[in-house]
């Protein structure tokens, strides 16, 4: 009997509170913009943070409030931008697909005796924790002689959610087909050697060395010495040499590939000449 009373009492109490809550949820109902949910559906939901907002939900809210432009989502690309534009009732505009580029060609090569024949020279063997940030803290900015190049311990590989970046011969390399341009890799790189470049542009300068030509030559067999030949031949004036490093302005670049043909160090890569991996490997030699 006691059990029946206890159940009845607590059940009744719960019922009353339930009814009160039901009434309160009607009284305090907050309308949610139905477009928000639709925008969330358009986005890939990877929460990579490439747009600069906290996750896909944060970006959708910013777009809804008019704080963010449509087309910031690199991983969703044009398809996602068009879908979002349809929800918001505006035109998407052109979305340039960006991919990551590791600005380093210091792939290390060795002869049969294990002596290094090419690539970025090492000060010594780093035996510590296999992480770029950790490595960059020891021995005066890490184990490479070059102060700018890729350390190759793969912090970016761990950061990539799309399996699009891998370390090949001591240098990280981007799979341009898999890369969605979220730039998570660039965020974790202690040397800031990774940048975003437009996918359609096929001439690349995979070097980050701002050192003087002679210093660069001593530290790496594949470094830009800032000679400026590419700048002279460029028909569109798209190349400038900034602090000893050739830099392409992709607003102007027409991907003609002339700069790649004149580069004495074969640093500038023309992807039309060879598939990316081969061109990169060639540049490394």
Partner 1 sequence: MAQQIIGILIAALLSQNFILVKFYGICPFMGVSKKIDTALGMGMAVTFVMALASFACYWVYQLLLLLELTYMQTVAFILVIASIVQVVEMFLKKMVPALYKALGVFLPLITTNCAVLGVVLVNVAEGYDVLISTVNGAAGGLGFTLAIVLFASVRERVDKAECPESFKGFPIALITAGLLALAFMGFSGLSIF
List residues near partner 1 by CB under 8 A: 2, 5-6, 9-10, 13-14, 17, 20-21, 24-25, 27-30
Q: Please state the closest distance from residue 5 (CB atom) to partner 1, in A.
A: 6
CB-wise, 29 or 112, nearer to partner 1?
29
Q: Please state the closest distance from residue 61 (CB atom) to partner 1, in A.
A: 11
Q: Please state the closest distance from residue 17 (CB atom) to partner 1, in A.
A: 4
CB-wise, 59 or 250, nearer to partner 1?
59
Tokens of 277: 């991996």
Q: Please state the closest distance from residue 19 (CB atom) to partner 1, in A.
A: 10
Q: Please state the closest distance from residue 18 (CB atom) to partner 1, in A.
A: 8
- Rg, the chain, Cα only: 27
CB-wise, 55 or 198, nearer to partner 1?
55
CB-wise, 20 or 138, nearer to partner 1?
20
Q: Please state the closest distance from residue 3 (CB atom) to partner 1, in A.
A: 10
Cβ–Cβ under 8 Å, residues 96 and 139? no
Three-class DSSP labels, 204-251? ECCCCCCCCHHHHHHHECCCCCCCCHHHHHCCCCCEEEECCEEEECCC
In sequence order, the 6+-apart residues with CB closer than 8 A to the CB of 251 are 238
In sequence order, the 6+-apart residues with CB closer than 8 A to the CB of 55 are 47, 49
Going by the DSSP 8-state scheme, the letter that residue 166 receives in this structure is E
Question: Which has the closest alpha carbon to 102: 39, 162, 4, 179?
Answer: 179
Q: Please state the closest distance from residue 272 (CB atom) to partner 1, in A.
A: 49
Q: Where are the beta strands (DSSP E) in the chain?
A: 98-102, 109-110, 116-118, 165-168, 171-174, 194-198, 203-204, 239-242, 245-248, 269-270
CB-wise, 24 or 285, nearer to partner 1?
24
Q: How far apart are CA 231 and CA 233, in angstroms?
A: 6
CB-wise, 12 or 275, nearer to partner 1?
12
CB-wise, 21 or 138, nearer to partner 1?
21
Please count the other Cβ atoms lying within 10 Å of the Cβ belonging to residue 42: 23
């Amino acid at each position: 009997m006691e059990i029946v009373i206890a159940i009845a009492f607590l059940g009744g109490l719960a019922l009353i509170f339930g009814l009160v809550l039901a009434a309160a949820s009607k009284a305090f109902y907050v309308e949610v913009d139905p477009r928000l949910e639709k925008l969330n559906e358009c986005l890939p939901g990877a929460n990579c943070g490439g747009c600069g907002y906290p996750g896909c939900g944060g970006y959708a809210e910013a777009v809804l409030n008019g704080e963010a432009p449509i087309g910031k989502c690199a991983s969703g690309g044009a398809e996602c931008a068009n879908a979002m534009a349809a929800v918001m009732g505006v035109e998407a505009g052109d979305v340039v697909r960006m991919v990551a580029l590791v600005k380093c060609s210091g792939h290390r090569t060795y002869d049969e005796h294990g002596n290094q024949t090419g690539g970025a020279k090492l000060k010594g063997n780093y035996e510590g924790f296999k992480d770029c940030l950790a490595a960059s803290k020891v021995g005066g900015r890490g184990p490479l002689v070059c102060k700018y190049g890729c350390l190759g311990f793969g912090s970016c590989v761990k950061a990539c959610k799309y399996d699009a970046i891998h370390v090949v011969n001591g240098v990280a390399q981007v799979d341009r087909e898999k890369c969605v341009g979220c730039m998570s890799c660039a965020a974790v790189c202690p040397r800031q050697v990774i940048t975003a470049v437009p996918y359609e542009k096929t001439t690349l300068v995979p070097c980050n060395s701002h050192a003087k030509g002679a210093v660069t030559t001593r530290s790496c067999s594949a470094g830009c010495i800032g000679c400026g030949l590419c700048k002279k031949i460029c028909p569109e004036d798209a190349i400038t040499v900034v602090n000893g490093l050739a830099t392409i302005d992709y607003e102007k670049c027409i991907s003609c590939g002339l700069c790649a043909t004149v580069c004495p160090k074969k640093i500038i890569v023309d992807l039309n000449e060879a598939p990316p991996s081969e061109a990169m490997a060639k540049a490394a030699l």
